[in-house]
Structure formats: C-alpha cells, structure tokens
Structure 1
Amino acid sequence: MPDHKRSPWRAMVLVSIISSYIVGGVIGGVFLGIWLDSKFSTQPLFLISFLLLGLATGLYGTYRTIQPFLGDDAKK
C-alpha cells in the first residue's frame, strides 16, 4: 500500500468522522426525544425511541464510512 494511504492524518480524520456520526446521532436523538416527550407528555417513550434511532443512524453512517476501507489488506 502506498505511503499516502497510511497517513496518520487520514486515520485521525476517519476516527473524527466515526465519532461524530455516533455522538451526533445519539445527542440528536436524545434532544429530539426529550422535546417530543415534553410536547406530548409521554415521558420516556420518545426519548428511548429516538435514542435508539439515533444510535442506529450513527452506526449505519459509520458502516458506510468504513466500507471503502474494508478489504484493503487483502489487495496487497
């Protein structure tokens, strides 16, 4: 593999993207769930639902981000 593909900057950017997907999805789901719970007076229902939905969205985004990197070592 060429040296420019093993750059530490590239690895740091990838870790930043992955963490922002997961953290952003969870935080967005929590805030949206709390807001909807306060609107409809259904205390933990929307919070739990959107927390899980945000986590699933973050994990899906992470999978889509790392998908091009899967199998890089097999191509040597």
Structure 2
Amino acid sequence: MRPKQRHPLQAIGLMSGIVSQLVGSILIGIFGGKWIDEKLGTEPIFLVVGLLIGLAAGIYAMFRLIRQYFPEE
C-alpha cells in the first residue's frame, strides 16, 4: 500500500499551527495567572498555576491538531 503524498506546505501549516497553539495557550495562562495574582495579592501562585494549565491546554490542542492531520494512523 502506497503512503499518502502530502504537499510540503501542509507540513509547514501543521508546524505553524502547533507553535501558535502552544505559545498562545501558554501566554494566555501566564497573563491570566498574573492578572489574578494582582487582583488577589498572591504573587507567584496563580502565575505558576496559569502556566501549567496553559501548557497542558497547549499540549492537548497540539495532539488534537496532529490527530486531525493524520486521521488514519
């Protein structure tokens, strides 16, 4: 069975989607945690929690995007 031939621009699109989802979710987590810390007066707690939640959300979104790109595998 012959593997599917994909265009190189599809790979570039996949990589840029992965990077933007990872970076975007991490930044949202960091800035959201920092904002909550400023409102509540708890300096690094929610920043770290927001970073971890953003990282987990970015990894989850990355796996969903890869699964969408390779549905049969």
Q: What's the TM-score, normalizing by structure 2? A: 0.87
Higher helix content, 1 or 2 = 1
Residues 48-76 of structure 1, C-alpha deviation per residue, up to 9 Å, x if partnerless?
Answer: 001000000000000011114162xxxxx
Q: CA RMSD in A?
A: 1.2
CA distance in 2, matches of 1:2, 1:43: 51
| Length, aligned pairs only | 69
Q: Structure 1 residue runs of 4+, over 4 Å off?
A: none
* Corresponding position of 1:56: 56
1:31 deviates by 0.5
Q: How far apart, CA to CA, are the structure 2 residues paired with 1:21 and 1:56?
A: 11
Structure 1 gap segments, 5+ residues each: 72-76
Q: Which residue of 2 aligns with 1:23?
A: 23
